[in-house]
Amino acid sequence: MPLIGTGEIATGAVAAARGVGAFNVIQLEHAQAIVAGAEAAGAPVILQISENAVRYHGGLAPIGAAALTVARAATVPVAVHLDHATSVELVHEAVESGFTSVMFDASVLAYEENVRTTAEVVEHCHAAGVWVEAELGEVGGKDGVHAPGVRTDPAEAAAFVAATGVDALAVAVGTSHAMLTRDAALDFELIGRLREAVPVPLVLHGSSGVADEDLTAAVEAGMTKVNIATHLNQVFTTAVRRALADDARLVDTRRYLGPARAAVAAEVARLLGVLRAVLPAA
């Protein structure tokens, strides 16, 4: 099945009142595992590459080409997304490389500047048929707009979408990035109000910290795109540690990266079931 547009996946998820999983790729094994998990679940999926991952690889081309290649060989719909890009130049490179969507993060800027810069990115991306996600708020510390106490105002969110033309909006409803425990307290009432106020799909960042039942409830309340990264890294690393502990003489990287890849694939398939465990809209 060919690479598919992120917007097409998100639109289908909204129509079916289901969530779509967006999982972060750090290396080739992640991309392979995520797609294998999606194929096992028979569900569409979004491969995400963050600006931090781009920096780790010394540029977008190596990991971007790998993710796009894996996506194009998949038997289920797969989109490739640039996550948390603060660089307009990186956004342009992703568009030229064939990414189907970008998340442009100008949340560190004042509201007016965020709107202006995001609108310019939207204009460029839409000219190339690329879907754009954005977010509101001023970043303070690592978690920024997704620190536990931060909340998105529905009226401001609706105004931001209207002013920028973005296709999806990441909102703050109680999650936090890089959580190692799954005990985030989501504001489901706020999710519902945001869903009523905002005419584009809502995105939940920091979803690694959300328990299974709350992920399902978040989708029922109105979330569509659900981003998960740290949780899969925990699964991957746990499998690597187990393989190395079982054999102190192990040096072939395939012997420990392979089990880690398989563990992530199984967890992706399970999580996609969690996100899709919602009755279709009547």
CATH code of 169's domain: 3.20.20.70
- Any domain includes 14: yes
Q: Catalytic annotation on 167? A: no
The CA angle 239-184-225, to the nearest 5 degrees, is 80
- pLDDT values of the chain reduced to their tens digit, one per residue, 282 residues: 679 999 999 999 999 889 999 999 999 999 999 999 999 999 999 999 999 999 999 999 999 999 999 999 999 999 999 999 999 999 999 999 999 999 999 988 888 999 999 999 999 999 999 999 998 753 233 344 545 567 788 999 999 999 999 999 998 887 655 554 555 668 888 999 999 999 999 999 877 778 888 899 999 999 999 999 989 999 999 999 999 999 999 999 999 999 999 999 999 999 999 998 754 443
Alpha-carbon distance 50 to 184, whole Å?
A: 22
pLDDT at 143 (0 to 100): 46
The count of structural domains within the chain is 1
Alpha-carbon distance 259 to 236, whole Å?
A: 8
- For residue 169, the cross-strand partners are 134, 202
- Any domain includes 282: no
- Any domain includes 201: yes
Alpha-carbon distance 251 to 272, whole Å?
A: 33
pLDDT at 24 (0 to 100): 97
What type of residue is 255? Answer: R
Q: Percent helix, strand, coil in the chain (nearest 5)? A: 50, 15, 35
- Any domain includes 280: no
- Any domain includes 176: yes
pLDDT at 243 (0 to 100): 97
- Any domain includes 281: no
Cα–chain center distance at 70: 17
Contact 94, 60 (CB under 8 A): yes
- Any domain includes 169: yes
Look up residue 9 and give its two tokens.
């996946």
| DSSP helix/strand/coil, 47 | strand
Range of the structural domain that residue 263 is part of: 6-275
The pTM score is 0.90
- Any domain includes 1: no
